[in-house]
A and B are shown apart, each in its own frame.
Chain A
Amino acid sequence: MKKAIQLTINGQPVEASVSPNQTLVQFLRDDMGLTGTKHGCGLGDCGACTVLLDGKAVNSCLVLAVQADGCQILTIEGLAENGKLHPLQQAFVDKGAIQCGFCTPGMILSAKALLDEKPNPTELEIRTAISGNLCRCTGYQKIVEAIGEAAEVIRFREES
């Protein structure tokens, strides 16, 4: 028995019919074609499927699509504006924070949730914010640097 849901994905209102046991990550990837959200474990361990749900970073494999009814979802596809990379995306590219790229979308969204709340985080706050996003390639150092740099760019942009 499918259930109708209404939600906003990357600023666009969406109406859809989903199975009650369908997870948000399945809905985003399979039904919406938003494959930038990655499926790494299905158990909430790796963080690759992180999206923002009403501004909070969540593992979309642990959220049912029906639970997102009435919510605002931001996926990695919704971050760049007018074809211009978001400062986090730009910093990840510039600082070498991306290797295989599979953790990148989730990592960037966890970082966004942090910077939205704490525009000037300490290194420990950055590391804590992404501690639920596993990366096997980078050793995290360049990711932490990139988030720090993006925070600066965003603060500067908002001041000026």
Chain B
Amino acid sequence: MGDYRVLNTRAPRIDGPAKATGQAKYADDFKMPGTLYAAILQSPIAHARILHIDTSKAKKLPGVKAVVTSREAGLIKYGVSPARYDETLFAHDKVRYVGDEIAAVAAFDQDTAQEALSLIKVDYEELPAVFDMFEAMKEGAPQIHNEFPGNMNAEVHQEFGDTDAALAACDLVIDHTFLNKRQDAAFIEPHSCLAVYEPSGRLTLYTSTQVPHYVMRTVAMTLQIPVGNVRVVKPYVGGGFGPKCEATPLEMSCGLLSKVTGHPVKMSYSREQVFLHSRARHQFYAEMSLGVMKDGTMVALKNKAVLDGGAYTSFGIATVYYSGSLLGGPYKLKSMKYDGYRVYTNKPACGAQRGHGGVAHRACFEQLIDMTAEKLGMDPIDMRLKNIMMTGDMTVNELDMSSLGMKECIEAIRKGSDWNNKKGKLPKGKGIGMACGFFVSGAGYPIYRSDTYHSTVVIKLSEDGGMANVLTGSAEIGQGSDTTMAMIAAETLGISLDNVRVYSGDTDYSVDLGAYSSRQTLMTGHATKEAAEEIKSKIALYLSQELNVPIASITFGDGIVKFDGGPGNFDKLRTNYIKEHRGWTDPPSGEYLTFREAARLAYLRAGTIVGTGKYKPPKLGGSYKGAAVGTSPAYGCSAQIVEVSVDLDTGQITVDGMTDAHDCGLAINKMSVEGQMQGSLSMGLGECLFEEVKFDSRGRIINPSLGEYKIPTALDMPKVKSIIVESNEPNGPYGAKEVGEGAIMPTIPAILNAIYDATGVRINELPVTSERLFMALKKNAEGAKI
């Protein structure tokens, strides 16, 4: 690791004070004179033909300014991946789930908007609906989209090597299945948007999103506004975790209503609408076979996935590819076969959520490894270490592990949890389990096919030279990207963190694909570093001309500039600076030229000093179909050990402790890295033990609230030991890579392996409520009696 002044520390977040005092503004905190309030009419029926929509009564209600349906919005199809645009802003021929959007209203106040919704009359012809993914695949099942017969939204078939032959040659082949449940991301801030359409034709959206860039493009397309006239501003965002990675009907409705009325239009989803919009974790069914040799060498993996996609595609194409591609590591395999199916059902659409596509299949795979180790009489850690990939290894599906501290992570948790003294030595009812995982540090390709840069950054110095302003379209959503960029800029410029300001989340500032696929640190980080380097070279050039010294003799660091390692002769610059800033409180002092004075000189010579940086990954991945999904310039990896107590009479599970190690390359900000690790564990624990979005027989969500849909509270989380493992990632800025999603990968299987250790019962369906475990224990006991 290098000798850093700003990086690799525990820096308090730069937005901390604003957030701690309530000054930080989120989308719902914005207010503008003349604002109208909007509401969306959503289908109460899961599957129906729309025969007629009558908005006349709603339009006549005093206080209503506009009512829009597909007639006004048009039928432009949109979605996430252009290959599967299957949504229109408002349903026109059919509704496909309870919650499908039909119309939107703008009124002078919220109550009037809600009342207007109740006056819109929709005549439906109810159609048979299908809610189960396996039912939806059967012949004769209700057809949800005409274009996709058999409700088959996407199919993936990939094979590397001859898997059947490899399995046949193995000493031992073990099978396993796994079923998770549909999740909700349960971010605490519901989606909210304020749209302002100006007479000039410009639309600005202040919106709670992870991806201002993609929202800008989608809104421009669906509302038929030139993209240059759409600006998306992301204020502070109260969590995203994936579902805020795409343009929403809320944003498009606000935009359309603002365009139609000429007023600013605001709308926020209720908590129930957040559940209805969904776009969160799919339900996955996994079927897997792992073939190994007697000595524990892994040889072949066969993996089948069925995904319940809900009524639309959202991110689903990428999801169904990820369920296969993210099993290629971190173990060496000779062959791997994957068959994935994403199926439409009459439920809200599923999309991306933390650990996109990989979490459920990782849970199945890591259980399978434990099952295999048990059969072979091996310690689960030894079994993994025997097969572990190292830096420089390539997965069977051609993902390049340019740095991989997987082994170091495993060793760190083995020691950190005292595994050797616990595994196999705990009393009945107590268990210990482990698992590993890895994840991309930014998707290798954008969502739409393009040669676009993934991140550009502009750094602009203040005219006095005292402040570096970083302008970026990147999305601070709580993960700490603003602080990360400030730290990278400060380190590169050789100034203190206090002398950097970050302006982010605005499509006017720069191009940035946003906060998804754990990409900000690596990609925006590269662009920030490059922009700062350009600034430094400009200043060095003007200094060298002014003082007649070679450029190579000039170095920056600690807020000062050195010439051949010494102070040099800069008297005239200092005198000038002090003269120019007479009466200011903080004249430059000390024996060295300050960065501020040097930057001022550059300004006097060339005007405002601006540096720009850009990044896009090199061409990555193999040449097979779907090779793009799963590629990344770098991969982060994690290993976790979980300890549980199980009440064998009731099935009640208590997670007693978690030990987590993550390789994030260079930890830019250690405090933020730990924050991501601990947050990931909490989300994984929730999904494993409590979380399930439930539906009634007519496709209505029965638990659309944070009271009924349970996420972990402070009382559910044990003390977590977080161990940062640092590798030097050659493709990352200063050697950095991801932590935001990789850290969730091992959590579920580590808990499940611990439950098995405690009870001898293997659970293959989530969530592991005490009821589910109790029934499994009972069945196991009955089986033992027979």
Asked if A77 is at the interface of the complex by the 8 Å CB criterion, the answer is yes
By beta carbon, the residue of chain B nearest A88 is: B20
Asked if B477 is at the interface of the complex by the 8 Å CB criterion, the answer is yes
- Assess whether B22 is in contact with A75, with CB atoms less than 8 Å apart: yes
Q: How far is the CA of A42 from the CA of B29 in the complex (A)?
A: 16
- From B12, B480, B683, B707, contact of A94 by CB (8 A): B12
- Assess whether B22 is in contact with A45, with CB atoms less than 8 Å apart: no
Q: How far is the CA of A61 from the CA of B190 in the complex (A)?
A: 15
Shortest distance in angstroms between A125's beta carbon and chain B's nearest beta carbon?
A: 11
Stretch at the interface among A32-40, A65-73, A151-159: A32-40
By beta carbon, the residue of chain B nearest A76 is: B22
B548 neighbours in A (Cβ, 8 Å): none
A99 and B675 in contact, given A38-B189, A40-B271, A41-B271 (Cβ under 8 angstroms): yes
Interface size class of A (residues with CB under 8 A): 35 or more
A85 neighbours in B (Cβ, 8 Å): 17, 20-21
Asked if B336 is at the interface of the complex by the 8 Å CB criterion, the answer is no
- Assess whether A136 is in contact with B22, with CB atoms less than 8 Å apart: no
Q: Most A CB atoms within 10 A — which of B12, B21, B22, B715? A: B22
Shortest distance in angstroms between B112's beta carbon and chain A's nearest beta carbon?
A: 14
- Assess whether A140 is in contact with B675, with CB atoms less than 8 Å apart: no
Asked if A142 is at the interface of the complex by the 8 Å CB criterion, the answer is yes
- Assess whether B189 is in contact with A42, with CB atoms less than 8 Å apart: no
- Assess whether B188 is in contact with A45, with CB atoms less than 8 Å apart: no
B4-50: which residues lie under 8 A (CB-CB) from chain A?
10, 12-13, 15-26, 28-29, 31
B479 neighbours in A (Cβ, 8 Å): 99
- Assess whether A137 is in contact with B17, with CB atoms less than 8 Å apart: no
Q: How far is the CA of A152 from the CA of B20 in the complex (A)?
A: 19
Asked if A135 is at the interface of the complex by the 8 Å CB criterion, the answer is yes
Asked if A23 is at the interface of the complex by the 8 Å CB criterion, the answer is no
A44 neighbours in B (Cβ, 8 Å): 707
Shortest distance in angstroms between A112's beta carbon and chain B's nearest beta carbon?
A: 12
- Assess whether B19 is in contact with A98, with CB atoms less than 8 Å apart: yes
- Assess whether B12 is in contact with A105, with CB atoms less than 8 Å apart: no
- Assess whether B706 is in contact with A104, with CB atoms less than 8 Å apart: no
By beta carbon, the residue of chain A nearest B236 is: A101
Shortest distance in angstroms between A85's beta carbon and chain B's nearest beta carbon?
A: 6
- Assess whether A96 is in contact with B12, with CB atoms less than 8 Å apart: yes
Q: How far is the CA of A21 from the CA of B674 in the complex (A)?
A: 43
Asked if B717 is at the interface of the complex by the 8 Å CB criterion, the answer is yes
Interface of B, secondary structure class, is loop
- Assess whether B20 is in contact with A42, with CB atoms less than 8 Å apart: no
Shortest distance in angstroms between A98's beta carbon and chain B's nearest beta carbon?
A: 5
Asked if A27 is at the interface of the complex by the 8 Å CB criterion, the answer is no
Shortest distance in angstroms between A46's beta carbon and chain B's nearest beta carbon?
A: 5
- Assess whether A134 is in contact with B711, with CB atoms less than 8 Å apart: yes
- Assess whether B715 is in contact with A104, with CB atoms less than 8 Å apart: no
B185 neighbours in A (Cβ, 8 Å): 136
- Assess whether B237 is in contact with A100, with CB atoms less than 8 Å apart: yes
Asked if A141 is at the interface of the complex by the 8 Å CB criterion, the answer is yes
Q: Mark A8-43, 1 if CB is under 8 A from B, else 0.
A: 000000000000000000000100011111111111
A92 and B20 in contact, given A38-B238, A136-B711 (Cβ under 8 angstroms): yes
Q: How far is the CA of A156 from the CA of B678 in the complex (A)?
A: 30
A100 and B12 in contact, given A75-B22, A139-B717 (Cβ under 8 angstroms): no
Asked if A130 is at the interface of the complex by the 8 Å CB criterion, the answer is yes
- Assess whether A79 is in contact with B21, with CB atoms less than 8 Å apart: yes
- From B10, B189, B681, B706, contact of A45 by CB (8 A): B706
- Assess whether B239 is in contact with A138, with CB atoms less than 8 Å apart: no
Q: Most A CB atoms within 10 A — which of B25, B189, B480? A: B189
Shortest distance in angstroms between A72's beta carbon and chain B's nearest beta carbon?
A: 18
A42 and B679 in contact, given A92-B16, A100-B477 (Cβ under 8 angstroms): no
Q: Most A CB atoms within 10 A — which of B26, B236, B241, B714? A: B714
- Assess whether B23 is in contact with A140, with CB atoms less than 8 Å apart: no
Interface size on B, residues (CB 8 A): 57
- Assess whether A139 is in contact with B24, with CB atoms less than 8 Å apart: no
A108 and B20 in contact, given A139-B678, A142-B678 (Cβ under 8 angstroms): yes
B24 neighbours in A (Cβ, 8 Å): 101
- From B26, B270, B705, contact of A38 by CB (8 A): B26
Shortest distance in angstroms between B242's beta carbon and chain A's nearest beta carbon?
A: 12
- From B21, B31, B186, B672, contact of A96 by CB (8 A): B672
By beta carbon, the residue of chain A nearest B669 is: A96
- Assess whether A43 is in contact with B707, with CB atoms less than 8 Å apart: yes
Asked if B388 is at the interface of the complex by the 8 Å CB criterion, the answer is no
B13 neighbours in A (Cβ, 8 Å): 93, 96, 98
Q: How far is the CA of A158 from the CA of B457 in the complex (A)?
A: 47
A99 and B271 in contact, given A108-B20, A127-B715 (Cβ under 8 angstroms): no
Q: How far is the CA of A39 from the CA of B188 in the complex (A)?
A: 9
A96-114: which residues lie under 8 A (CB-CB) from chain B?
96, 98-105, 108
Shortest distance in angstroms between B219's beta carbon and chain A's nearest beta carbon?
A: 23
By beta carbon, the residue of chain A nearest B268 is: A39
Q: How far is the CA of A108 from the CA of B679 in the complex (A)?
A: 18
Shortest distance in angstroms between B192's beta carbon and chain A's nearest beta carbon?
A: 9
B428 neighbours in A (Cβ, 8 Å): none
- From A35, A39, A90, A139, contact of B22 by CB (8 A): A35
- Assess whether B719 is in contact with A141, with CB atoms less than 8 Å apart: yes
- Assess whether B715 is in contact with A131, with CB atoms less than 8 Å apart: yes
A98 and B16 in contact, given A36-B21, A75-B22 (Cβ under 8 angstroms): yes
Shortest distance in angstroms between A61's beta carbon and chain B's nearest beta carbon?
A: 11
Asked if A60 is at the interface of the complex by the 8 Å CB criterion, the answer is no
Shortest distance in angstroms between A91's beta carbon and chain B's nearest beta carbon?
A: 9
- Assess whether A40 is in contact with B16, with CB atoms less than 8 Å apart: no
A41 neighbours in B (Cβ, 8 Å): 190, 271, 705-706
Q: 10 shortest A-B CB distances, which residue pairs?
A: A36-B22, A100-B478, A102-B238, A101-B19, A139-B682, A139-B678, A93-B16, A76-B22, A96-B671, A35-B29
| A interface, CB within 8 angstroms of B | 29, 33-46, 48, 75-77, 79-80, 85, 89-90, 92-96, 98-105, 108, 126-128, 130-144
21 intermolecular pairs with C-beta atoms under 8 Å apart: A34-B22, A36-B22, A38-B238, A41-B271, A46-B271, A48-B188, A85-B20, A85-B21, A89-B21, A93-B12, A93-B13, A96-B674, A99-B478, A101-B478, A103-B188, A128-B715, A134-B188, A136-B679, A137-B679, A141-B719, A142-B671
